[in-house]
Amino acid sequence: MGMGIVVDEDEIPVSDITKKLCSHFAIDYLKLISSGSMLVVCSQENYSPIKAKLDEKGIGVAMIGKIQGEGAFFDSEGKSREIDQPDSDELYKVV
């Protein structure tokens, strides 16, 4: 049984400065390494307690999607699209 993840791009926390720099250099922020970020998969029931504990520590949390049988990525216009695995971090296009 295959599983997929449905991700809502609008729910991914990205700072304004990151968006501005990526726009200026024509790079995709979804393909940055994002050091310091962690993707956690948990049940709907466990989300609130996990979020509360991380909030206590000053660690930002966002629910960006859900697990289901088929995967999809929804962009900010609500259109489904695939995200290919990057060959390298997008920053290498700038340096």
pLDDT per position as a tens digit, 73-94: 776 677 777 767 777 888 888 8
pLDDT of residue 21: 93
- Specify whether the CB–CB gap between 31 and 86 falls below 8 A: yes
> At 45, is the secondary structure helix, strand, or coil?
helix
Label residue 1 by pLDDT band (50, 70, 90): low
pLDDT per position as a tens digit, 41-62: 999 899 999 999 999 999 999 9
Mean pLDDT for the chain? Answer: 85
**Residue 74 β-bridge partners:** 8, 80
Q: Is the pLDDT of residue 28 over 80?
A: yes
CA geometry: angle 8, 12, 18, nearest 5 deg: 135
